[in-house]
């Protein structure tokens, strides 16, 4: 400021040179170097919200600190807390680890200025265990028999892992004579990825003999299920 004019009643005129002003001055309040000494901190997160996690996974909080609207780098010390450590934990670096299924709020605040704070919602989903091994079970009705002629016998294969049925695992079907003979005694009428319909060939000499039906996991031939079926006459 280079001068003051008070010649007009009720009016005071200030004369300033541009070189005397800086970005630190608050022109609305009329306080020089205001922004240099006054700090108004805010905290926010740039992560997509809410943060969705699965049990056992870890994610980094992307914390943004601003002072008077300008991003602060490096970020000053921040204290992180969680409302429920049985759902998610958070360390001093802002790394969140999903512990158990549920929803929890994680809060960040400036260590030296507790008024600057922000919270973010963490949603934790239950983890699906990796299959430890597949197994196949065959279903075929009341008794393992295949009739010669007629509609045929329907056999269904169910693939399981960890005690849970897996619906998207196809199997391949095959059959062989239990006595080792090569002439087929049965035929497949219908075949799908999970079931087949079989009929004994029209040969009465086959009545009372057995065939072995096999369902093999298509993606792993070492996993299969077999069942012996007795051939019987239609009537």
The per-residue pLDDT for 22 is: 62
The per-residue pLDDT for 203 is: 84
Residue range 49-88, pLDDT digits in tens? 999 999 999 999 999 999 988 999 999 999 999 999 999 9
Q: How many structural domains comprise the chain?
A: 2
Q: Are 217 and 138 in the same domain?
A: yes
- Supply the range of the domain harboring residue 106: 41-125
Cα distance between residue 15 and residue 19, in whole Å: 12
User: Does the pLDDT at position 108 exceed 80?
Assistant: yes
Q: Are 159 and 219 in the same domain?
A: yes
Q: Are 146 and 121 in the same domain?
A: no
Q: Examine residue 21 and state whether it is found in any structural domain, yes or no.
A: no
Q: Are 140 and 114 in the same domain?
A: no
Q: Examine residue 12 and state whether it is found in any structural domain, yes or no.
A: no
Q: Examine residue 31 and state whether it is found in any structural domain, yes or no.
A: no
User: Does the pLDDT at position 35 exceed 70?
Assistant: no
CATH of the domain at 205: 2.60.40.10
The per-residue pLDDT for 26 is: 58
Residue range 119-164, pLDDT digits in tens? 999 999 998 776 668 999 999 988 999 999 889 999 999 999 888 8
Q: What is the DSSP string of 202-223?
A: S-GGGTT-EEEEEEEETT-TT-
Mean pLDDT value across residues 174-186 = 93
Q: Examine residue 22 and state whether it is found in any structural domain, yes or no.
A: no
The residue with greater pLDDT, 162 or 171, is: 171
Q: Are 160 and 70 in the same domain?
A: no
Instruction: Work out the pLDDT band at 7, boundaries 50, 70, 90.
Output: confident
Joined together, the tokens standing for residue 16 give: 């300033």
CB within 8 A of 99, min separation 6: which ones? 55, 85, 86, 87, 88, 89, 124
Summary mean pLDDT of the chain: 89
Domain stop point among 80, 102, 125: 125
Cα distance between residue 41 and residue 164, in whole Å: 52
Q: Examine residue 227 and state whether it is found in any structural domain, yes or no.
A: yes
**Which of 8, 14, 11, 12 is CA-nearest to residue 27?**
14
Q: Examine residue 94 and state whether it is found in any structural domain, yes or no.
A: yes
Instruction: Work out the pLDDT band at 8, boundaries 50, 70, 90.
Output: confident
């Amino acid at each position: 400021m280079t001068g003051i004019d008070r010649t007009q009643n009720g009016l005071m005129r200030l004369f300033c040179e541009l070189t005397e002003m800086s970005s630190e001055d608050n022109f609305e309040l009329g306080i020089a170097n205001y922004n240099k000494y006054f700090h108004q901190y805010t905290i926010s997160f740039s992560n997509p919200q809410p943060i969705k996690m699965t049990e056992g996974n870890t994610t980094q909080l992307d914390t943004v600190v601003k002072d008077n609207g300008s991003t602060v780098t490096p970020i000053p010390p921040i204290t992180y807390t969680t409302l429920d450590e049985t759902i998610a934990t958070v360390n001093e670096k802002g790394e969140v680890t999903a512990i158990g299924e549920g929803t929890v709020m994680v809060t960040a605040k400036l260590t030296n200025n507790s008024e600057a704070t922000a919270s973010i919602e963490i949603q934790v989903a239950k983890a699906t265990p990796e299959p430890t091994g597949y197994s196949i079970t065959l279903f075929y009705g009341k008794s393992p028999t295949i009739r010669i002629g007629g509609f045929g016998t329907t056999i269904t294969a169910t693939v399981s892992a960890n005690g849970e049925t897996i619906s998207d695992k196809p199997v391949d079907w095959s059959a062989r004579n239990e006595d080792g003979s090569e002439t087929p005694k049965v035929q497949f009428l219908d075949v799908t990825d999970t079931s087949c319909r079989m009929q004994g060939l029209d040969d009465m000499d086959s009545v009372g003999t057995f065939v072995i039906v096999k369902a093999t996991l298509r993606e792993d031939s070492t996993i299969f299920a077999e069942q012996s079926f007795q051939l019987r006459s239609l009537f």
